[in-house]
Amino acid sequence: MEKQTAIIIPARYGSSRLEGKPLLKVCNKYIIQWVWEKAVKCNGIDRVIVATDDERIYNACREFGAEVEMTSAEHKSGSDRIAEVASRHPEIGYIINLQGDEPLIEEDNIELVRKGVVEDDSADISTLIREIKDMNEVNNPNLVKCIFDVNNYAMYFSRSKIPYERNEGMSKFYGHLGIYGYKREALFNMTSLQQTTYEKAESLEQLRALQNGMKIKVAVVENVPVGIDTKEDFEKFKSMVEGVSLNC
């Protein structure tokens, strides 16, 4: 039987900076609905599932027609949440972890993540990066940087500026975008492993995979989808969408 490819969207109600953000509305659509609508348009995707531990989100997703599943409230990460859902579906062989707070993600970007893990036999995980043009971003610890080899496999992710420039102007810098594709076995393997020293030091879950010898394929994209983490982010997205009447 051919393996299915699924996008699983983890969605929590609680957020330290913007509580309830999946259920905020723009043009009479929930934020989670904006993300889901992008996901269902993607090529090569067999199903899209929202994974949540909150009945309000569950009910809202049912309201607009999404496939949605309840998960444990004890999960510490989105990876654990999507692994619970994937464990119920042995037919799913490839999983894309799409954040529920990125309504501006482009379908082409999701497609690159899918190809990275489905079409590359050596890749356990796939993700996206983009070139950083602003040096303030290079030095910002909230923007995760990535270095990768000549075959586009990640070598390391860091909150620090990497690589260190002994000779200024000799290197480009790349920022990480928080979307992942997993082979089924890789997802279960990673979520079953203990946190590693680098992961604890940087608070970056993907370092657990790298430190355990897993291969992460990266693709470079031009556009930068803006996630909704704060009220200011939400207002910015709202003004962008409402400025284009066809979206409302």
pLDDT of residue 247: 56
Query: What integer is the mean pLDDT of 159-168?
Result: 91
pLDDT of residue 220: 97
- What would the pLDDT profile of 86-144 be if each residue is shown by its tens digit? 999 999 999 999 999 899 899 999 999 999 999 999 999 999 999 999 989 999 998 99
Residue 19 pLDDT class (50, 70, 90 cuts): confident
Length of the chain as a residue count: 248
pLDDT of residue 224: 78
Q: How is residue 209 written in tokens?
A: 């995979």
Q: Locate the domains of the chain by residue range.
A: 4-229
What would be the CATH architecture of the domain defined by 4-229? Alpha-Beta Complex (3.90)
What is the pTM assigned to this prediction?
Answer: 0.93
Residue-averaged pLDDT of the chain: 93
- Residue 7: CB partners within 8 Å, gap ≥ 6? 39, 42, 45, 47, 48, 49, 95, 96, 98, 110
Unique residue bearing structure tokens 């594709």: 181
Asked whether the predicted pLDDT for residue 221 surpasses 80, the reply is yes
Unique residue bearing structure tokens 């972890």: 97
Query: What integer is the mean pLDDT of 68-91?
Result: 93
Signed CA dihedral, 152, 111, 182, 237: sign only: positive
Asked whether the predicted pLDDT for residue 73 surpasses 90, the reply is no
Beta bridge partners of 154: 148
Q: Whose CA is closest to 32, among 7, 2, 4?
A: 7
